[in-house]
Structure 1
Amino acid sequence: MIDDFAKEYLHGDLREFREVLLRKLDGLSEYDIRRPLTPTGTNLLGLVKHLSLSEARYFGEVFDRPFPEPVPRWDDLDQRGTDLWATEHETREEITGRYRRAWEHADTTIAALAIDAPGHVPWWPRPDVMLFNVLVHMLTETSRHAGHADILREQLDGGVEMDPAAMAQRGQDAAFWAARRAEVERAAKAAGGAEPVA
């Protein structure tokens, strides 16, 4: 009983965060979904591409259920990091489509296996795992990158993953957020020993 509950609970959250991540691309130009917004090059479409590869590997080869499309080998050092950005030749549709296909493949694996089904992750220090371990890992990885995407999207156009009607009802308009930011900046300067801004 608890196994079925745990599996469905983790899988449900994973499904939700996948959709959240893809919504971060909505309404943005090709440039904006690809542009590096951190010194290490983090970008929205790259996060989607990275998670496509992660889902394909973790719910594919780990459980001897290979994803039907080619994916770079985990031990190919020349390919490391190339899953974190999109070339000019890769389209948004290709990358988001691959992500959806990877998660469909993952969903099939999750549905077919018991939560204690054994798997093998050769790149982990303790490679013998269960579906439970991989579900937790992928939920953590996906929610982590969805959080990155929240910040990237907010940097691009102020877009946040909140209900606009509820925000308006609470008085959280642009003026509210400008005042909040100023308050946070004042507190940061005061704590850092800088002269507080009046």
Structure 2
Amino acid sequence: MTETDGRLAASKRDLKLYLQDARDAVVWKLEGLSEYDARRPLTPTGTNLLGLVKHLTGAEAVYFGTAFGRPFEGGPGLWAAGAAEPNADLWARPEESRAALLDGYRRVWAHADATVDALPLDALGEVPWPPYSRLSLARVLLHVVAETHRHAGHADLLRELLDGATGLRPADALLPEGDAAWWSAHHRKVEHAAREAAAAAGEQLTG
């Protein structure tokens, strides 16, 4: 293996590691939740935890499957190409079980990882939407890492709104230790700072 080959192999390993960290974070956000909480919309645009899983499954199926002529068996349709109703990939229908959607997400990981392992980073794939239809595997991998981490952040906030659970992993909250009273005081401090800054800027607040 040449020095260049070694660097490319290391790049693949690093990108796959960061992608898997984000995948795992998204999945654990559903652990221990009721069926309703796993599915219910928590923002005005309907963002919900199981919908994020469904969306990311479709993304990996397209980017690492269809794009490189390696279709994911039993994968979702090309929602991003307009083959389904708007936002069809961002919520779970009653007949779509949580177990089946999570299983599909895990299966698409294996399919995606196999694509990454099988192809060089400069291999070109085609996605079904402009303006960047032809993309290298390196570009696709970077995009999916970024997208998955972005949605993992969405999942962080949704889970915190549901029951206060935070962090990349169940036992890794990455927040200062504090009881309910401490966090309530911290919330008031941040709110006070925001109001003080608003007043200095001449803004009129209600409530």
* TM-score normalised to structure 1 length: 0.90
Deviation readout 1:103-162 (Å, 9 max, x if unpaired): 111011111111111111231312111110011110011000000000000000111016
Does residue 47 of structure 2 align to residue 45 of structure 1?
no
Q: 3-state DSSP class of the match of 1:101?
A: helix
Q: Distance in 1 between matches of 2:175 and 2:101?
A: 37
Matched residue type, 1:101: R
Indicate conservation of the 8 Å contact 1:45/1:85, yes or no. Answer: yes
**Contact 1:167 1:173 (C-alpha < 8 Å) held by counterparts:** no
2:161 pairs with 1:155 = yes
- Say if 2:91 is the partner of 1:97: no
2:14 aligned partner:
9
1:144 corresponds to which residue?
150
| Matched pairs, number | 196
Contact 1:189 1:195 in 2 (8 A): no
Structure-2 separation of matches of 1:119 and 1:144? 23
- Counterpart of 2:95, as a letter, is H
Decide whether the 8 Å contact of 1:36 with 1:42 is kept in 2.
Answer: yes
Moved more, 67-76 or 84-93: 67-76
Hey, what's the Cα distance between the residues in 2 that align with 1:108 and 1:169?
35
The residue type equivalent to 1:95 in the other structure is L
Q: Is the 8 A contact 2:52 2:91 kept in 1?
A: yes
Classify the secondary structure of the residue corresponding to 2:81. Answer: coil
Q: 1:69 to 1:162 in 2, by over 3 A?
A: closer
Alignment partner of 1:88: what SS? coil
TM-score normalised per structure 2: 0.87
Mark the CA change 1:43 to 1:167 in structure 2 (over 3 Å): closer, same or farther. closer
Matching of residue 58 in structure 1 with residue 63 in structure 2: yes
- 2 CA distance for matches of 1:195 and 1:155? 28
Change (3 A) 1:173 1:43: same
- Report the counterpart of residue 125 of structure 2 in structure 1: 119
Against the structure 1 CA distance between its residues 124 and 180, is the aligned structure 2 distance closer, same or farther, given a 3 Å change threshold?
Answer: farther
Pair 1:106-2:112 in alignment: yes
- Which of 116, 128, 133 is the aligned partner of 2:134? 128
1:125 and 1:109 mapped to 2: Cα distance? Answer: 23
* Shift in alpha-carbon separation, 1:7–1:124, aligned structure 2, 3 A: farther
Match of 1:27, SS state, is: coil
Q: Which residue of 2 aligns with 1:85?
A: 91
The residue type paired with residue 153 of structure 1 is R
Structure 2 counterpart SS, 1:147: helix
CA deviation after TM superposition for structure 1 residue 63, in Å: 0.7
Alignment CA distance shift 1:166-1:148 (3 Å): closer
Please identify, of 111-120 and 56-65, the stretch whose mean Cα deviation from structure 2 is larger. 111-120
Residue aligned with 1:87, SS: coil
